[in-house]
């Protein structure tokens, strides 16, 4: 009897150790992600987006992975009460500081259209939502009805329903990619706090 319990404990610990490499590092502080976004504005204002000169950033909007852990923060670039663009910053040191930056509206500005698509598909209004980012240029929202009986994943980019299995596979790729990306990213996060 004790051998069975011991065996189960050994198997459980082995599994935990085996898969612990796929868990993302501790979350970064909001001040560090804010510094990364501000640094991106400075760099891009002198390089590609001159309109970003002297711009500020909004409060961050959190995006999550499928486990409910923050994966990225989106900061809108604002100047004279006008939104010029947005910056997507990693929520962990597993990745380089900035995933994406561009002119235009932040993906979450499309959530009402996605809620309309949910209602069209289900005949119900969504009562719960979570913004999801798993790398690349795709942003998603998971929507559920009031009873949590119906769930839909909708792309904030295309406004199309996406199979949840697709996101599960994306999350595996996202986490696997973090294992290769983190090799050079530590120095980049150091550069955020100690610019040359």
pLDDT tens across 14-47, in order?
Answer: 323 323 334 445 678 888 899 999 999 999 999 8
Residue 132 is predicted with a pLDDT of 98
Residue 176 is predicted with a pLDDT of 78
Residue 19 is predicted with a pLDDT of 33
Residue 170 has pLDDT above 70, yes or no: yes
In a domain, 13, yes or no: no
This prediction's pTM: 0.80
In a domain, 45, yes or no: yes
Count of domains for the chain:
1
Please report, rounded to a whole number, the percentage of residues in the chain having pLDDT higher than 70: 77
In a domain, 170, yes or no: yes
The separation between CA 56 and the C-alpha centre of its own chain, rounded to angstroms, equals: 21
Q: What is the mean pLDDT of the chain?
A: 83
Full domain range(s) for residue 54: 25-189
CB 62 within 8 A of CB 34: no
Distance separating alpha carbons of residues 70 and 132, to the nearest angstrom: 9
In a domain, 8, yes or no: no
Residue 136 has pLDDT above 60, yes or no: yes
In a domain, 29, yes or no: yes
CA neighbor of 113 nearest in space, from 129, 89, 94? 129
């Amino acid at each position: 009897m004790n051998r069975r319990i011991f065996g189960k404990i050994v198997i459980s610990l082995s599994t935990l150790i085996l898969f612990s490499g796929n868990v993302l590092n501790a979350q970064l502080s909001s001040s560090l992600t804010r510094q990364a976004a501000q640094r991106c504005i400075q760099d891009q204002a002198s390089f590609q987006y001159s309109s970003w000169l002297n711009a500020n950033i909004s409060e961050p909007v959190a995006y999550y992975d499928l486990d409910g852990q923050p994966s990225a923060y989106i900061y809108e670039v604002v100047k004279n009460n006008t939104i010029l663009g947005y910056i997507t910053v990693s929520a962990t040191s597993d990745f380089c500081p900035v995933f994406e930056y561009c002119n235009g509206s932040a993906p979450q500005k499309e959530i009402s259209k996605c809620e309309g698509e949910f209602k069209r598909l289900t005949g119900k209004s969504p009562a719960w939502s979570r913004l999801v980012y798993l790398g690349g240029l795709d942003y998603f929202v998971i929507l559920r009805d009031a009873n949590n009986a119906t769930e839909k994943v909708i792309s904030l980019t295309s406004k199309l329903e996406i199979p949840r299995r697709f996101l599960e596979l994306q999350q595996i790729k996202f986490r696997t990619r973090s294992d290769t990306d983190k090799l050079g990213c530590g120095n980049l996060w150091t550069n955020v706090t100690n610019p040359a």
